[in-house]
Structure 1
Amino acid sequence: MIERFSPRGSIAAMHTDTPTPPDLNWQAQALCAQTGADFFFPEPGSSVREAKLICGMCEMRSACLEYALANDERFGVWGGLSERERLHLRRTDPR
């Protein structure tokens, strides 16, 4: 229908950006996938110590943190860092 009212060839010549979904294969290998979300998304004011211990043993920690920073995850423990720690990292990162 749009082509009918557009100049000939303009629709095909348009550049369309389709977002590429992030590679989430790391999530299946992450220790948190085997543990449960309760540790990683605690109630406000609760300890995140257990989550950080699990993250410290996880081989996917860097991919997890990279994902959280790239997607502006604001809640929970990602890549071994709490919300406050990720916010501090974003503020001090020179990128």
Structure 2
Amino acid sequence: MTDVSRLPGAAHHSWQWQSRAACRDLGSGRFFHPAGERGEDREERDAAAKRVCAACPVRAACLEHALRTRETFGVWGGLTEEERRALLAPAESALASRP
């Protein structure tokens, strides 16, 4: 489950970027894998989602949101959940090793 404590709250300006997203009217099925999807099917769906993200005017804001809130599922800002975890791992490891 997403950790909502990191969400910026209800301030409209914090969410305004979503209204300009290329995915706005495409439905979530393109960006979130169904249960049990593996292999080539998942790779093809992820690739299709990433093509949408590649042309998106708010890709950076979307990715920043996903990283800040630790979105655990789906393609956000052109990265899969595995790719986002790999980006966050070094920072989380450094925090965990602090005294």
TM > 0.5 fold call:
yes
**Bigger CA radius of gyration:** 1
Unaligned runs of 5+ in 1: 1-18
Partner residue of 2:29?
38
Q: State the Cα distance separating 1:49 from its structure 2 match.
A: 0.6
Give matches, 1:42-81, under 5 Å.
Answer: 42-43=33-34, 44-45=37-38, 46-47=42-43, 48-81=46-79
Letter in 2 for 1:64: C
Task: Return closer, same or farther for 1:29/1:90 CA change in 2, 3 Å cut-off.
Answer: same
TM-score normalised over the length of structure 2: 0.69
Partner SS, residue 33 of structure 1: coil
User: C-alpha distance in 1, partners of 2:90/2:17?
Assistant: 26
Kindly provide the CA deviation profile for residues 39-80 of structure 1, in whole angstroms up to 9, marking residues without a partner as x. Answer: 101223223010000000001100000000111100000000
- Quick one: higher RCO (CA 8 Å, sep 6+), 1 or 2? 2
Q: State the Cα distance separating 1:28 from its structure 2 match.
A: 1.0
Q: Which has the higher helix share?
A: 2
The aligned length equals: 77
User: C-alpha distance in 1, partners of 2:8/2:88?
Assistant: 23
